[in-house]
Amino acid sequence: MASTLFPDFPGISAWTPSIGGRGGRRHPSCPAQDRETILNMVTKHFHMHPLIDVPGHRTPAQIYIGAAREIYLFCNQRGYIDTWVYLFNEWYNPRAWKTWTRCTAGDRIPMAKTTMLIEAHWKVLKRNHLYHYNRARLNLLVYVIMDRYFPDLRYKFNRDTVIGSHATRWANEFTKEWNRLVGREEKSNANALYEPSTETWTCGSPSFLTSRYLICKYLVRRFATWKIWS
């Protein structure tokens, strides 16, 4: 399948996605010294998006091919065939790619990691409300969510968002990060290099790419020169 998707990848025909595929000298897995590099590469690929793909302005399909090529070449040049097999089967085949990357979201950049939000909800449900039930029945689960859990969520939402009487942890962290970026100096050729835009709130800088709050010094300094007081 990989050789059909990426026919121009060097040597891809010998690196078929099955353990034990043909090839030259092989390493059974990625050594420890290169694991951090691969993790950083996967993190970068997760954050890529057509709106912030500067200067290439590639389509989602082109971003996918480029990401797969980058990580394939890294594995190919070092003989990590089984590492590539795992990455392709679990992360870089077309079906898996759509489930974890931002570039497949079209003209919008997702801010939240949905899986993490769902896991956080289940963690609260299991630890605070269902700790006596290993396998709660569906009717009990619905009752607990609507009668016990939802009132707590509604109270916190009104307190933190509607009324604003209590600063959330993420709001404090956002304020701290914004104030830090206000005082940062920027490159003189930033406009040509990263194309920052406060209208679309996008920027091609590496810091914006991985920012939790989708901010960077180039956008912050163009939007305001003052600090936020918490």
- So what's the pLDDT on residue 20? 43
How far apart are the C-alpha atoms of 221 and 168, rounded to whole Å? 24
Which pLDDT band, with edges at 50, 70 and 90, does 19 fall under? very low
Cis peptide before 17 (omega within 30 of 0): no
Could you read off the pLDDT of 161-191 as tens digits, one per residue?
888 788 888 888 999 999 999 988 888 898 9
- So what's the pLDDT on residue 22? 46
Question: What is the average pLDDT across 76-87?
Answer: 90
- So what's the pLDDT on residue 16? 61
Domain definitions of the chain by residue range: 2-105, 114-163, 169-223
Q: Give the dihedral of Cα atoms 188, 193, 194, 198; nearest 10 deg.
A: 50
How far apart are the C-alpha atoms of 16 and 22, rounded to whole Å? 8
Question: What is the average pLDDT across 122-142?
Answer: 89
Question: What is the average pLDDT across 68-85?
Answer: 92
Query: Which of 88-97, 117-126, 145-154, 171-180 is predicted with the least confidence, judged by mean pLDDT?
Result: 117-126
Interhelix angle 60-78/32-47, rounded to 10 degrees, is 170
Which candidate, 103, 98, 228, places its Cα nearest to that of 176?
228
Q: How large a percentage of the chain has pLDDT more than 70?
A: 92
More confident residue, 113 or 211: 211
What is the pTM for the complete model shown?
0.72
Q: Six-digit token pair at 117? A: 């939000």
- So what's the pLDDT on residue 168? 82
Does residue 60 register a pLDDT over 50?
yes
Question: What is the average pLDDT across 85-98?
Answer: 92
Task: Reduce the DSSP state of residue 202 to 3 states and report it.
Answer: strand
